[in-house]
Amino acid sequence: MKLILAIVQDKDSNVLSSEFIDNDIRATKLSTTGGFLKAGNTTFIIGIEDERVYEVLDIIKKTSHARKQFMSPMPNLELGVDMAMPYPVEVEVGGATVFVMPVDQFERY
């Protein structure tokens, strides 16, 4: 068995949840926050049999879209008033960031 952690954008999370349900894939959805943009994203925890890992990855790939987002860097007040407000920076976020990990033991009671 493997544990998949998939970080996706909030905009893709409802479609992805529905895909998991339609394909009989059990998943847990967490509301998370990206460390860089400090904006909300969604992390799915999925426990899945080894032979279904690529099926799950295909679904995530199909439903997660890359988007451009603007972030405003924190003002640096030490630079003085003129230089303190930096311009917004464009960042491409997603499709999805996915970790696949081995599971030593799985129990359901």
CB of 93 to ligand 2BA, least distance (A): 4
Single-letter amino acid code for the residue at 90: E
Compute how many residues bind ligand 2BA; rule: CB under 6 A. Answer: 12
Q: Is 1 exposed, middle or buried (0-12, 13-18, 19+ CB in 10 A)?
A: middle
Bond into 95 cis (ω within 30): yes
Q: Which of 4, 7, 46, 60 binds ligand 2BA (CB under 6 A)?
A: 7
Close Cβ partners of 50 (under 8 Å, ≥ 6 residues apart): 1, 2
Question: What is the pattern of x (binds ligand 2BA, CB under 6 A) and - over residues 32-71?
Answer: --xxxx-x-x------------------------------
Q: Which of 69, 49, 57, 50 is nearest to 19 (CA)?
A: 57
Of residues 76-105, those binding ligand 2BA (CB under 6 A): 91-94, 97
Contact residues: ligand 2BA, CB under 6 A: 7, 34-37, 39, 41, 91-94, 97
